[in-house]
Amino acid sequence: MVDVRLRISRHCRMTPSHLKWQTVLFIFCVYGMELVFGQARYSIPEETPDGSFVGNIANDLGIEISRLISGKARVVTKGGRQYVELSRDKGTLEVKERIDREELCKQTTPCSFSFDLIMENPIELHRVFVEVQDINDNAPKFPKGTASLQISENTEIGTQFHLDRAVDLDVGINGIKNYSLSPTDHFKLKINNEADGNKHVELILQRALDREERDEIKLVLTAYDGGSPKKSGSMQIHISVLDANDNAPVCKQSVYKAEVKENSQAGTVVTAVSASDVDQGLNGQVSYSFAQATEEARSVFKINSETGTITTVNSLDYEMEKMYQLNIKAMDKGGLKDTCKVIIDVIDENDNSPSIQLMSFSNVIAENSPIGTTVAVINVEDADSGINGIVQCKINENIPFKIESSLTDYYALITDETLDRENIAEYNITIYVSDQGSPARYSNKTLNVKISDVNDNPPVFSSEEYKAILSENNSPGVSVLKVEARDDDSGPNARLSFLLEDKNIHGNPVSSLVLVNSESGVISAAKVFDYEQMKSFSFNVTARDGGSPPLSSEVTVTIVVQDQNDNAPQVLYPVQTGGAVVAEIVPRSADVGYLVTKVVAVDVDSGQNAWLSYKLQKVTDRALFEVGAQNGEIRTVRQVTDKDAVKQKLTVVVEDNGQPSRSAVVNINVAVADTFPEVLSEFTDFTHTKQYNDDLTFYLVLALAAVSFLFITTLLVIISVKIYRWRQSRIFYQSNLPVIPYYPPGYTDTGVTGTLPHMYNYDACMTTDSRKTDYKYSTIGGQSVLMMDPSFTETMQRAMRERVLQQDPESPEAVRN
Ligand SMILES: *[C@@H]1O[C@H](CO)[C@@H](O)[C@H](O)[C@H]1NC(C)=O
């Protein structure tokens, strides 16, 4: 053992750096004792060029170079490549082939190879160990040149991400020593040394990511080895920052203002809101909706959830809502949201017509209402605003009303002139209102105002005066005429009643003559009238209305009593005495046409009833006398002869023209004689009464006066008649009235000859004083004087009384009747 140990110590010359291996070598030597004569150990760096010196084996094993040559020493490698060869001449070992430690040993360390040195004669075997020392000939290397990582932006700080580590074929100090990262603003490295000596590389997030700021980060990971000089290898790391919904949408404006006209049709775009979201994809997709919008606003507006466009769904009414406030929610698909406000002003349009409301209205107004009386109070309104709501008010023109503004929007309709119901009883007052919009809107209202009656109009008769003709001998109660009146007022103010005004006519109250129907105005006769007693009369009728106080007016009614042929003619001359014989005397010398006498008759009737005609009825000698049909003159028609009888008797019929006619008969005695005694002798049978003789003188005087008076009167009448006709013809001429004076056929109206005209005839009676009970009448010709029949005087008296009655109603005679 000592030997071995010595040999070992002799052959195994150890460098200090190999001391640690001594123990191992020793054990190895013990096992190889039978074969191996010696050992040698060398150490060379890898990659040593060929021929480089490895060791002086001769020296190290104590072998002579000659022995090497004689022993034919050679290197024997078992398998594998021969890296080292022997230079026998020098006794040195040299590098035969480049040694790559990494190829030879991979990561094994220490790395060595061995070969044997064999010599012959005697055979000798020496084992040589060569340790290959690592040199830093490999750089660290990452398996992949790039690494990609996807990291969400909201990853928490401190999160670790595993990275592939780099590999360095070198070992030991030349292996990977550390890593570095660049840049390190978001990440840092964490190196974990594993038990196997490897290092784990972790990437640690040290600052929060923000995709919106930077969505891709490029890092370079570099690995360094510990060689000298050190080598490095690097790897690109691409980090994609994944989006997280970390951004809420943001409205572009927090408040939007918009205007929309009222009555805009549905679908009108009001405005559009917009919000942006910097997130990606769904996280950045914003949808819009109403937040806390009133139901009403929802019914009016809608929002397009994608575009944010707000449109109307209904027409708007400024008058209902002037402004809308909408809260809009902009929300991304990740549920983050923002809100903004939209204020929509509704713009007024002139879409409302002004309205008229009657606050008070009296549709009936008295015609005597003073000017300024209020008829109606009107309220006008227009729901629009601004000038669209400013209202003007007026009424139609040319009516006695005006409109006054009392308060804002209030107007009073008042009277502007005095009213007159009788002129205009009703007004249609139209109130026109218009606003100032463009175009303006109008409306109107018509008020019907009735003017109520006031009793301001008296009754008015249809005629200024009334005249009626009533035939005498009427039946009592017959209606004569009707007065009519109107009253322009109405109602009770126009209800008329007719009253007879109290009055005396010929001493009788008028109510005894006529009756007035107070309602109808019909006037009827209250008694039987006699033309000969009363030819006409007048009275007043009052018409009174029912107003309070009543108004009245009166009218004069004249009733003319019309004559009827109810009186026969009365013969005035010759006087028909009962017993006395009166004769006309015709001298025998009388010529043809001698006026014997004239029959004078009157008829108290008038007109045609008083037109008289005369006829001979009976005559002693028809050839001797004739009577003028119109004038009653009895004349001779032939020369009187001596043969003619003294005593001639004629009967003359006097007839009026009435229908039917009435007549009277008069007997005339004619004496044809030259002397009065002759006559007397002939007329001895003529009766004389004492009374007549007594009064004869008186009657003669009276007759004379009467004749004189008659003559003058006749003259006056003729003149009057002439004047009257002359004037009448002028009136006819002027008036062109077709009035033709009427004369009955066969009658002439001459003032000179013929019958006394009726007027004359009559007036003669009227103007004569009739206070005497008897009446004496003489012929116009004054040729004869005859006696008067007493019965005739009665007739005359009556006629006279009537005349007096007409002239003087107050006379005692009238009263007596
Ligand atoms: C007023 O109007 C009414 C109804 O239209 C009509 O019957 C009446 O005749 C009118 N009155 C006047 C005075 O115009």
The per-residue pLDDT for range 487-521, each reduced to its tens digit, is 988 888 999 999 999 999 888 899 999 999 999 99
Work out the average pLDDT over 11-34: 41
Ligand 1: atom nearest CA of 428 is 1
Distance CA 420, CA 369 (A): 10
Closest Cα to residue 555, out of 455, 457, 496, 467? 467
Distance CA 509, CA 227 (A): 176
pLDDT of the residue at 643: 80
Tell me the best of 396, 426, 429, 444 to mutate to test the pocket of ligand 1, counting ligand atoms within 8 Å of each CB and taking the most.
Answer: 426
Work out the average pLDDT over 2-10: 34
pLDDT of the residue at 677: 67
Q: How confident is the model at residue 112 (pLDDT cuts 50, 70, 90)?
A: confident
Ligand 1 center from residue 395 Cα (angstroms): 16
Please, what is the end-to-end C-alpha distance for the chain in angstroms?
225
Q: Whose CA is nearest to atom 5 of ligand 1?
A: 428
Ligand 1 center from residue 414 Cα (angstroms): 20
Tell whether the model's pLDDT for residue 802 goes beyond 60.
no
Ligand 1: atom nearest CA of 426 is 13
Tell whether the model's pLDDT for residue 220 goes beyond 90.
yes
Lowest model confidence (mean pLDDT) among 382-386, 402-406, 603-607, 801-805: 801-805
Quickly tell me which residue has 């230079």 as its tokens: 87
Pairing mode, strands 84-87 and 38-45: unpaired
Work out the average pLDDT over 400-414: 90
In tens, the pLDDT along 293-318 reads 788 888 889 999 999 999 999 888 88
Closest Cα to residue 199, out of 179, 173, 227, 219? 179
Tell me the best of 429, 448, 449, 450 to mutate to test the pocket of ligand 1, counting ligand atoms within 8 Å of each CB and taking the most.
Answer: 448
pLDDT of the residue at 743: 43
Ligand 1 center from residue 224 Cα (angstroms): 118
In tens, the pLDDT along 442-459 reads 999 999 999 999 999 999
Domains observed in the chain: 3-133 (2.60.40.60), 146-347 (2.60.40.60), 355-452 (2.60.40.60), 460-562 (2.60.40.60), 570-675 (2.60.40.60), 709-816 (no CATH)
pLDDT of the residue at 816: 40
Q: Whose CA is nearest to atom 2 of ligand 1?
A: 428
Structure tokens at 661: 């006619």
Ligand 1 center from residue 362 Cα (angstroms): 17
Ligand 1 center from residue 371 Cα (angstroms): 23
CB contact set of 206 (below 8 Å; sequence gap of 6+): 157, 158, 184, 186, 187, 188
Tell whether the model's pLDDT for residue 752 goes beyond 80.
no
Distance CA 525, CA 662 (A): 27
Ligand 1 center from residue 65 Cα (angstroms): 164
pLDDT of the residue at 808: 46
pLDDT of the residue at 339: 92
Ligand 1: atom nearest CA of 424 is 13
Are the CB atoms for 787 and 692 separated by under 8 Å?
Answer: yes
Closest Cα to residue 431, out of 390, 367, 387, 377? 377
Ligand 1: atom nearest CA of 425 is 13
Ligand 1 center from residue 447 Cα (angstroms): 10
Q: Whose CA is nearest to atom 6 of ligand 1?
A: 428
Q: What is the pTM of this model?
A: 0.47
Closest Cα to residue 405, out of 395, 393, 421? 393
Tell me the best of 363, 399, 428 to mutate to test the pocket of ligand 1, counting ligand atoms within 8 Å of each CB and taking the most.
Answer: 428
Ligand 1 center from residue 322 Cα (angstroms): 42
Tell whether the model's pLDDT for residue 778 goes beyond 60.
no
pLDDT of the residue at 254: 93
Distance CA 785, CA 582 (A): 8
Backbone φ and ψ for 718, nearest 5 degrees, come out as: -60, -45
Pairing mode, strands 514-516 and 250-251: unpaired
Q: Whose CA is nearest to atom 10 of ligand 1?
A: 428
Work out the average pLDDT over 588-604: 87
Are the CB atoms for 547 and 489 separated by under 8 Å?
Answer: yes
Work out the average pLDDT over 619-628: 84
Q: How confident is the model at residue 622 (pLDDT cuts 50, 70, 90)?
A: confident
Work out the average pLDDT over 736-752: 42
Are the CB atoms for 245 and 280 separated by under 8 Å?
Answer: no
Ligand 1, CB within 6 Å, residue ranges: 426, 428, 448
Work out the average pLDDT over 123-146: 88
What is the average pLDDT value for the chain, to the nearest integer? 81
Lowest model confidence (mean pLDDT) among 427-441, 450-464, 584-598: 584-598
Q: How far is CA 150 from the centre of its chain?
A: 75
Task: Give me the percent of the chain exceeding a pLDDT of 70.
Answer: 82
CA 49 vs CA 94, 101, 505: distances in Å: 10, 13, 193
Q: Tell me the sheet residues that pair with 163.
A: 201
Which amino acid, residue 759? Answer: M
pLDDT of the residue at 17: 42
Q: How confident is the model at residue 784 (pLDDT cuts 50, 70, 90)?
A: very low
Work out the average pLDDT over 628-635: 89
pLDDT of the residue at 618: 85
pLDDT of the residue at 792: 45
Q: How confident is the model at residue 683 (pLDDT cuts 50, 70, 90)?
A: low
Distance CA 462, CA 801 (A): 39
Are the CB atoms for 402 and 416 separated by under 8 Å?
Answer: yes
Lowest model confidence (mean pLDDT) among 372-386, 502-516, 725-739, 785-799: 785-799
Work out the average pLDDT over 425-432: 93
Ligand 1: atom nearest CA of 427 is 13
- CB atoms closer than 10 angstroms to residue 384: 24
pLDDT of the residue at 689: 46
Q: Tell me the sheet residues that pair with 188.
A: 204
Closest Cα to residue 508, out of 475, 533, 531, 483? 533
Tell whether the model's pLDDT for residue 782 goes beyond 60.
no
Ligand 1: atom nearest CA of 448 is 1
Residue that wins the pLDDT comparison between 673 and 541: 541
Tell whether the model's pLDDT for residue 698 goes beyond 90.
no
Task: Give me the percent of the chain exceeding a pLDDT of 90.
Answer: 32
> What sign has the CA pseudo-torsion 24, 30, 35, 36?
positive
In tens, the pLDDT along 523-550 reads 999 999 998 888 899 999 999 999 889 9
Ligand 1 center from residue 449 Cα (angstroms): 10
Interhelix angle 790-807/758-766, rounded to 10 degrees, is 90
Q: Whose CA is nearest to atom 11 of ligand 1?
A: 428
Tell whether the model's pLDDT for residue 267 goes beyond 70.
yes
